[in-house]
Structures are given as C-alpha cells and as structure tokens.
Amino acid sequence: MYVAVKGGEKAIDNAHALMREQRRGDTAIAELSVEQIKQQLPLAVDRVMNEGSVYDPELAALALKQASGDSVEAIFLLRAYRTTLPRFGYSEPVDTEQMQIERRISGTFKDLPGGQVLGSTYDYTHRLLDFALLAEGDSALSEPEQASNNMGVLQSDLSANNVGVPQFPSEARTETKTSDKLEACPRVLELLNQEGLIEQSRADGEEDITPRDLTRQPVNYPAERAVRLQNLIRGDEGFLLSLSYASMRGYGDSHPFAGEMRSGLVSVELVPEELGFPIEIGEVMLTECEMVNQFHGSKDQPPQFTRGYGIAMGRAERKAMSVALVERALRAEELGEAVNYPTQDQEFVLSHTDCVSANGFVSHLKLPHYVDFQSELEMIRRLRKAASEASAQPSEDKADTAGEKI
C-alpha cells in the first residue's frame, strides 16, 4: 500500500548540515574570520549594509560569511535581524556638507571650492588581473604605479595616514590635506543655486517634514519623495543600475551631469528627550551623489536645472549614482514630464526594487504547489474532454448566453 511521503524534518536537518559543510569548504584551508571580511571585502560589506538597512560593518561581514558570500542572502540575514531591534530614538538629519571628505568629484566643474579629491577608486585602474595577488602578500599595492602609464591612479600611502593623494593630470588639482583639516567643501549644486540655475532643494517656505519610515509604515501610492528615496536606497543595486542605464538610453528621458559625488565620514547627532539639545553619537561613512538634470521652465518660471539625489552607506558610488538617476526619472510626473517608460513609473519601480522580496517570491516557486497544480490538471483534463466531445458532436456556442451576476 502507498504510504504518504514523510520525513520533512529529517530532510531539513540534513540539508542544513550539508550547507554548513559546503560553506566551510576544505578544512585544510584556514577559516575566514569576520574581521578579515570586514577589512578586505569592504565593498561587499557596504552593499550588505545598504540593502540590509543597518549601519554595522561587523554584522554585515558576519552575514556575508554565514551566507557563503551571497550578498542577497546576507542582506536578508541582516534585515531579519534588524526587524527585531528596538528603536531608541531618531537622529537629527545628517549634514553632508560637513562631511570629512575622503573623495569628492564633480563632472560639471573643472575646479571648485574644496577641490576635486580623487581618493580611493577603481575608476582609472586598468582591469588587468593582478596575478601577484594570487601569491600571498600585498603584491602590487606596495608598488606605486606609474602615472604616465596609469593616468589618475591613486598613489596611496596609507601608512602616512593621507587619505587620497591623487596624481591627477591637469584637470584636477592635487589635494594634500589630511582628514582632520579640510577647507570648507560646499555642495556643488548649492553653487549653481546662487544663480538660481537649479531648482531649490525645497520650495520657498517649505518646511522639512518628518519622513514616513517605510520599514514601519506601509507605502501608499503615489509615494512622497522621502519614501521613494528610502525605497531606492534599500533597493537592489543591480536592478537600480540597470534601470538607470535604461533611463539614460532613452527609456526615461534622462540627460544627467554628475554634479557631485562625495564620500566621507559624517557625524550623527541625537537629541535625548531629557537633554533637549543634540549630542554626537558617532560617525557614519556615507556616499552622496547629486545629479544635475535637464532643465525645465514654464510661463511663470525661467528655465532651471533639476536635481536627482542619491545617498548610500559606506563607499557605494554605483549605488548612490543609480539612486540619483532613478530618483530623477521617478520625478517625471511631478515635473510635468510625460510618463512613458517603466523607469518613470513609481509603482513599477518601487514595488520591485527590494532584493529580499524579489528573491523570496521567485524562489518560492521551489515550494510545493501540488494542490494548485492538481487543480489545474483537473481543469485542463476536463476542458480537453469537453473539447474532444464538442468536436465529435458540434453544438451551439453556449458562451453567448452567459449572463453576468455577482
């Protein structure tokens, strides 16, 4: 006699044991420490922090280790942990203008107050595999590359604690400042603002409102800008990158200039109820991007550039730029542009940015669907039977008489 399949519990236990074994790999090789991941895979850690919505490099590194390096799985681990954390309070808005600049570039002005600071970047590296890294040790890092061959590559002397000493040809000025003594570094877009060439970041008389927290409250459409930005910042980097790519290729009417990209440490302040004034509770590394976009004007208003804004935790330029581009595309409706493409469609974009949701829903197809499939089997057999009977004995189309009723 047939006996229903049993053994779910044991199968799960075994699957987990196998997974742990696979994650550890060959035990003859030293185990990777969380600290090593944090120190040596910092960009992976930053991505997990961003989409995991928790600023904690150590936990992000732990999640990466536990997830065998799968960033989506690691993001999920961090999110699930985050959701259980109590809220102690809400910080004051961070002031990125006061950022301790580690890197700052503008695509719109050759030189500007505060200067161009190239900092650390892969941008101008030649993508040649460095086989010296195969051997253990620091290899190429210790050898400064020749500026003549490698235009603009950072000559990094970390031992001297200089943050970014670029040897950048003519168009960029050399910055030699250390992080503790920087000249004022106003935002590029605010410089444009002095001439009224770009839209204000807030309208005259507009007050900041406390943004809705999308992790505590549901998103309703149309969503306000603060909610859209939160959503994008938590969004999947690959999805946003591709959307911004599409928006620049004509599916979104986007013609941006990178007004400014800056990264560095920003202090975080909190006002404790009992004190009534802000105190600094720490610093976070942030990357901020402001895009200058095509201008707008109307009968009442002279033409102005518009803005697209992106910010991300850690060193995450690709993310910050993608956010800024998609964010701008999503402003189409409020700026009176035609909404023709998915990149401009709030509901389409915001509903599908989240890698945890996307991954969950796609992978849920692996779950049993015996019952639904059985229902479909029964239905299709019935329809086929009816069809074969009908073709054997043609009759009137009964459908014509179907009446409506709820």
Partner 1 sequence: MSSQLSSQLNKPATQTAGAEGYNFAYLDEQSKRMLRRAMLKAVAIPGYQVPFGGREMPLPHGWGTGGMQLTATVIGEADTLKVIDQGADDTTNAVSIRRFFAKTAGVETTEHTADASLIQTRHRIPERQLRNDQILIYQVPIPEPLRFIEPRETETRKMHALREYGAMQVKLYEDVARFGHIATSYDYPVMVNDRYMMDPSPIPKFDNPKMNQMPALQLFGAGFEKRIYAVPPYTKVMSLDFDDYPFEVQSWEESCSICGSDHSFLDEVIMDDAGNKMFVCSDTDYCRERVEQGFTAENPEGQQGLTPEPNQSQQERKTQDDTKAEEMAP
Partner 2 sequence: MSVQVNSMNRGAVRSDLLMAGFDDAVQDAQKVFRKVLKAMSEPGTILTADLTDKTPGALNKSSWEIALTLFDADTKIWLSPTLAGDDVVVSNLRFHCQCPMVSEPAEADFALALADELPELKTLNWGNSEYPDQSTTLIVQVEAITNQVQDSDEGWCLTGPGIETERGLSAKGLPYSFRLDLVNSRKRFPLGVDCVFCADDQLVALPRSTEIKPSDNEDGIRNTTQQEAN
Residues that bind partner 2 (CB under 8 A): 90, 209-213, 216-217, 220
**What 3 state SS string does 268-325 have?**
EEECCCCCCCCEEEEEEEEEEEEEEEEEECCCCCCCEEEEEEEEEECCCHHHHHHHHH
Residue 378 near which of partner 1, partner 2, none (CB within 5-8 Å, type-dependent): partner 1
Element (H, E) at 16: helix 8-24
State yes or no: residue 371 binds partner 1 (CB under 8 A).
yes
- What residue 136 binds from partner 2, partner 1, none (CB within 5 to 8 A, per partner kind)? none
Q: Which of residues 328-357 bind partner 1 (CB under 8 A)?
A: 347, 351, 354, 356-357
Angle, helices 71-82/42-52, rounded to nearest 10 degrees: 50
Spatial strand order in the sheet of 304-313: 100-105, 257-270, 279-296, 304-313
Please, what is the minimum distance in Å from the beta carbon of residue 112 to partner 2? 37
Smallest distance from partner 2 to CB 220, Å: 7
140 binds partner 1 (CB under 8 A): no
Is residue 248 within 8 A of residue 325, CB to CB? The reply is yes
Helix (H) or strand (E) holding 102: strand 100-105
Say which amino acid occupies 52.
G
Cβ 72 to partner 1 shortest distance, Å:
10
For partner 1, the binding residue among 45, 185, 214, 233 (CB under 8 A) is 214
x/- mask, partner 1, residues 5-44, rule CB under 8 A, reads xxxxx-xx--------------------------------
Q: Are 141 and 159 in contact (CB under 8 A)?
A: no
221 near partner 1 (CB under 8 A): yes
Q: Choose, by CB under 8 A, the member of 86, 137, 250, 394 that binds partner 1.
A: 86
User: Residue 68 class from Cβ within 10 Å (0-12 exposed, 13-18 middle, 19+ buried)?
Assistant: middle
Binding mask 300-329 for partner 1 (x = CB under 8 A): ------------------------------
CA 392 to chain centre: 60
Residue 1 interacts with partner 1 (CB under 8 A)? yes
How far lies 136's CA from each of 42, 104, 139, 327, 384, in Å?
Answer: 19, 33, 8, 43, 66
Verify binding: residue 376, partner 1, rule CB under 8 A. Answer: yes
Among 26, 204, 208, 274, interactor with partner 1 by CB under 8 A:
274
Q: 3-state DSSP call for residue 117?
A: strand
Least Å distance, CB 313 to partner 2, is 21
**C-alpha span between 164 and 89 (Å, rounded):** 35
Under DSSP, is residue 233 helix (H, G, I), strand (E, B) or coil?
helix
Q: Determine which residue in the list 137, 205, 218, 250 makes contact with partner 1, applying CB under 8 A.
A: 218
Q: Which residues bind partner 1 (CB under 8 A)?
A: 1-9, 11-12, 76, 79-80, 82-87, 213-222, 273-274, 347, 351, 354, 356-357, 359-364, 367-372, 374-379, 382-383, 386-387, 390, 397-399, 401-406
